[in-house]
Structure 1
Amino acid sequence: MKILDKYLLKTFLGTFATVFVILFFVFILQTVWLFIAELAGKDLDFIMVVKFLAFSMPRIVPLVLPLSILLASIMSFGNLSEHYEFAAMKSSGISLQRAMRTLTIAIGILSIIAFLFANNVIPYAEFKFINFRKNIAQAKPALAIAEGQFSDVGLYNIKVNKKSGENGNHLTGITIHEKSKNGDGSKTVIRAKDGELISSDKTSILQLVLNDGNYYQDIVPKKYEDRDKLPFAKSSFKKYCINIDLSALNKVDTKDETISNTNTMLNVSDLGYTLDSLTKNRNTDIVSFSENSSTRLGSLVDNNAKTNLKKKPFTKDILSLYTNKQKAEILKTASSNTESNIYAIDATKTELDSKKKNINGHLLALYDKFVIVYACFLMFFIGAPLGAIIRKGGLGLPIVFAVLIFISFHFINTFGKRISQEDGLPPFFGSWMSSMILTPLAILLTYRATNDIGLINMDVILSPIQKVFQKIFQKIIPSQNK
């Protein structure tokens, strides 16, 4: 390795390490801010807080790494240009591409490390992070319920106005929304004046004892016309016990397709296996529904009618083959079958859309592991030429350009993934949209920096304006001379 390569590599890596540490610290503070409701005022000991932050740190790397490479590239090459070191290189016959060659190899190694990190460390950390947040409820049951907000605890959403006692087990002003178990849309609301949380280390059952309250439950009638009346049942109680099984909260199976956000806890091979299973399952549901629909329609023509149809093969009015009583029954059956089929179609469509979104989420998670590799190269080939063009180092102008470019990249990436999640765009394009849009910028900047062309050619913009003013002055000046 030549002295120049060592110098450029040392300059870049030193700047990159400094920038990465600073940005990582900033994003950690953002994480603390996002989860402040889960950390503040819950008497968490120092070890639990450290674990909480440690498990959430790896998810920050895909955001910090491309931004650090971008900013370090602009600062490093901006310093070289500002101190005329690039001018000395070019006078010695060393081009920009030659100067970037060693750093490109370094970025390649860094990209491989980033892929391995995203494929192995981040899924494990996500699994531990989600599992740890749920384990808090079992380690310290009172922490599962926060003051002044609804907390999701198993099959219940619980809100309390105030917690008291040594472990926060005494609750005041309790409101509980119980989730529907059978999916019929019914709602159950429980309100109590006060209550107490009772738990034991020997069992995973959390017992919530409520005092002086009321129990409200919506009733869903079988007849659709009665549902508009919104009937409900109300009862009062002096003491009411709710048993919450916390063991179900702490079991996170990465192979279970019903768990939301499981895609973030899988590596490439697991995602491939899961995607194959999800796709086959959805395709099987489609085929099964189409076969069941044809069977469900049935036949409205009985054997007698078939016999009559043979006698009258050219009749156009099939109902004329039946008596008035039979016609009424046929029309009633047809109407009932139609409503049943419409309901089945709507329900199946909702289920298939949900499964499609789940598949899209897994595809996005799969592509994201490769996008971070390309993003490292992309940000380097944007930052290095840009630094050489603007000829400014330090933390001033480079930060402005880096933030603008990264915000654009992150916004486009988020926008594309949101659309793809809702099946409005293929997941591949949703994940790679930001890279596709910014790649021409990297090519343009590299071309302009290689050919010593400025960031913006002001002559192209000012020349037409100058010609317009010249024509105006030529018309004004001769008229004054006359």
Structure 2
Amino acid sequence: MKILDWYILKRYIFTFLMMLLLFIPIGITVNLAEKIGKILEKNVPFVEVAEYYYHFTIYFANLLFPLFLFLSVIFFTSKLANNTEIVAFLSSGVSFSRFLRPYMIGAGIVAIFALALGLYLAPRASQGFNEFKYTYLRTNNNIQQTKDVFRQINDNDYVYVSSFNPKNKIGQNFTFEHFEGNELKYKIFANNIRYLEDDSIYRLTTYHKRKFVDGKEIIENQRRLDTLFSFDLEDLTPVEYHAETLLYHDLIKFINKEKARGSSNIGRYEVVKYKKWSLPVSVFILTIIAVAVSSIKRRGGMGVNLAFGIAIAMIYVFFDKVFGVMAEQSDFPPIVAVWFPNIIFGILAIYLLYNAKR
């Protein structure tokens, strides 16, 4: 590797790390200022607070590192352009593609780091981050009901509730179906179901049971019934962030299991899966855009490049969030939602690179 490659590569890595070290403490400070009241109110042990912010650091870095990388490349490349160093490189006979090579090497290093972060480090950090938040930082008013929960418990049993409140452990419009082969053996209805934690049983109100024996239908009715079921409370209260806490091979197994159960959150889970691969690819795309935008010396100096870069970054975040929500809350294909921003910005990168070469 030549002197030019080492020079740019060191600036690439160093500026990116400095950007992380600059913004992560700011993120921790803002978060602590917002949460300190609840932390003091609930007397959270210092060790747990410290562990939470360790997880928060990894979670925050994984969430926003493509933007930090993008801004850091614009920053140091603009400095090279303002100092006419890029002009000197290109005037010495170095082609623009050759000038871009150390950037791609740096992007490759960061992409490997991003892949390891997404596959191994971020899931554990997400679990610690979310468990602390749900344990200490959420108020009762923020606990939302799960709606339209339909689950296949095993090969024979299916359960449905129109809504379930995790606070008081009460579900509405409960249905339980038991099959043997393709034949429905019995079906249970109840206006509501409540989990009694002290006794580890379920209480059904306005209970009805339709049982089929030898082609005959037997109906049972009770005002209230305490009973046991083959499902767990977690089957009625699926945790939204659970997919984020799983290592990749566990995530694949979890998604396959949830598909078999008929979960309504498959889109959310698959968005998490595809993002583990799309984020490393976005490193290369954003690097190319940043170099193409900032390698030209402009009259407004570095400020113009940074302003343009921030605008592109905000548009990228907008596309990423909007299409992610569409996949989570509708039938929009998750793989399209996750990769669409990369495709659009990949085309933009090719266009800007072509103009920069000219």
User: How does the TM-score come out when normalised to structure 2?
Assistant: 0.70
The offset of 1:111, in angstroms, is 0.3
1:180 aligns with 2:160: no
**Residues in 2 aligned to 1:53 and 1:39: alpha-carbon distance in whole angstroms:** 12
**Residues in 1 aligned to 2:261 and 2:42: alpha-carbon distance in whole angstroms:** 43
The DSSP-based 3-state class of the residue aligned with 1:389 is coil
The offset of 1:436, in angstroms, is 1.7
**Residues in 2 aligned to 1:21 and 1:87: alpha-carbon distance in whole angstroms:** 31
For 2:259, the equivalent position in structure 1 comes to 279
For 1:112, the equivalent position in structure 2 comes to 112
**Residues in 1 aligned to 2:251 and 2:327: alpha-carbon distance in whole angstroms:** 17
For 1:359, the equivalent position in structure 2 comes to 266
1:68 aligns with 2:68: yes
1:8 aligns with 2:8: yes
For 2:246, the equivalent position in structure 1 comes to 266
Question: Once structures 1 and 2 are overlaid, which stretch shifts more, 378-387 or 431-440?
Answer: 431-440
The DSSP-based 3-state class of the residue aligned with 2:76 is helix
Identity %: 23
For 1:85, the equivalent position in structure 2 comes to 85
1:423 aligns with 2:323: no
**2:123–2:244: 8 Å Cα contact kept in structure 1?**
yes
**Residues in 2 aligned to 1:434 and 1:37: alpha-carbon distance in whole angstroms:** 38
**2:191–2:207: 8 Å Cα contact kept in structure 1?**
no
Letter in 2 for 1:417: G
For 1:150, the equivalent position in structure 2 comes to 141
Tell me, which stretches of 5 or more residues in structure 2 are unaligned? 145-166, 175-189, 199-204, 209-231
- Correspondence 1:120-269 to 2 at 5 A: 120-133=120-133, 150=141, 178-181=168-171, 183=174, 258-269=238-249
Letter in 1 for 2:273: L
**Residues in 2 aligned to 1:38 and 1:391: alpha-carbon distance in whole angstroms:** 48
The offset of 1:117, in angstroms, is 0.9
Q: Output the aligned Cα RMSD.
A: 3.6
For 2:32, the equivalent position in structure 1 comes to 32
**Residues in 1 aligned to 2:7 and 2:138: alpha-carbon distance in whole angstroms:** 56
Q: 1:307-338 deviations in whole A, cap 9, x for unaligned?
A: xxxxxxxxxxxxxxxxxxxxxxxxxxxxxxxx
**2:123–2:246: 8 Å Cα contact kept in structure 1?**
yes
Letter in 2 for 1:124: R
Q: 1:264-302 deviations in whole A, cap 9, x for unaligned?
A: 1112211211222222333xxxxxxxxxxxxxxxxxxxx
Q: 1:64-122 deviations in whole A, cap 9, x for unaligned?
A: 31112211211222122211111111211102211121221121121011111111111
The offset of 1:380, in angstroms, is 0.3
**1:58–1:122: 8 Å Cα contact kept in structure 2?**
yes
**1:178–1:187: 8 Å Cα contact kept in structure 2?**
no
**1:81–1:392: 8 Å Cα contact kept in structure 2?**
no
Letter in 1 for 2:322: F
**1:82–1:393: 8 Å Cα contact kept in structure 2?**
no
- Correspondence 1:396-475 to 2 at 5 A: 396-451=303-358
**2:319–2:341: 8 Å Cα contact kept in structure 1?**
yes
Question: Once structures 1 and 2 are overlaid, which stretch shifts more, 436-445 or 365-374?
Answer: 436-445
**1:119–1:369: 8 Å Cα contact kept in structure 2?**
yes
Tell me, which stretches of 5 or more residues in structure 1 are unaligned? 137-143, 154-176, 189-203, 206-218, 223-247, 283-354, 452-482
**Residues in 2 aligned to 1:392 and 1:268: alpha-carbon distance in whole angstroms:** 47
Cα–Cα, structure 1 residues 256 and 127, in superposed 2: closer, same or farther, change >3 Å? Answer: farther
The offset of 1:54, in angstroms, is 1.5
User: How does the TM-score come out when normalised to structure 1?
Assistant: 0.54
The DSSP-based 3-state class of the residue aligned with 2:51 is helix
The DSSP-based 3-state class of the residue aligned with 1:178 is coil
- The structure that is strand-richer by fraction is 2
**Residues in 1 aligned to 2:51 and 2:236: alpha-carbon distance in whole angstroms:** 25
**Residues in 2 aligned to 1:361 and 1:395: alpha-carbon distance in whole angstroms:** 39
**Residues in 1 aligned to 2:37 and 2:310: alpha-carbon distance in whole angstroms:** 28
The offset of 1:178, in angstroms, is 3.4
Cα–Cα, structure 1 residues 15 and 260, in superposed 2: closer, same or farther, change >3 Å? Answer: closer
Cα–Cα, structure 1 residues 102 and 423, in superposed 2: closer, same or farther, change >3 Å? Answer: same
For 2:18, the equivalent position in structure 1 comes to 18
Structure number, greater radius of gyration: 1
**Residues in 1 aligned to 2:124 and 2:138: alpha-carbon distance in whole angstroms:** 27
For 1:327, the equivalent position in structure 2 comes to none
Cα–Cα, structure 1 residues 185 and 372, in superposed 2: closer, same or farther, change >3 Å? Answer: farther
* Number of aligned residue pairs: 292
The offset of 1:256, in angstroms, is 11
**2:20–2:61: 8 Å Cα contact kept in structure 1?**
no
The offset of 1:257, in angstroms, is 9.4
Letter in 2 for 1:150: N
Cα–Cα, structure 1 residues 152 and 38, in superposed 2: closer, same or farther, change >3 Å? Answer: farther
1:103 aligns with 2:83: no
Cα–Cα, structure 1 residues 86 and 134, in superposed 2: closer, same or farther, change >3 Å? Answer: closer
**Residues in 2 aligned to 1:449 and 1:395: alpha-carbon distance in whole angstroms:** 17
**1:24–1:64: 8 Å Cα contact kept in structure 2?**
no
**Residues in 2 aligned to 1:381 and 1:45: alpha-carbon distance in whole angstroms:** 45
**2:62–2:122: 8 Å Cα contact kept in structure 1?**
no
Q: 1:163-183 deviations in whole A, cap 9, x for unaligned?
A: xxxxxxxxxxxxxx7342564
Q: 1:48-67 deviations in whole A, cap 9, x for unaligned?
A: 32122112222212333111
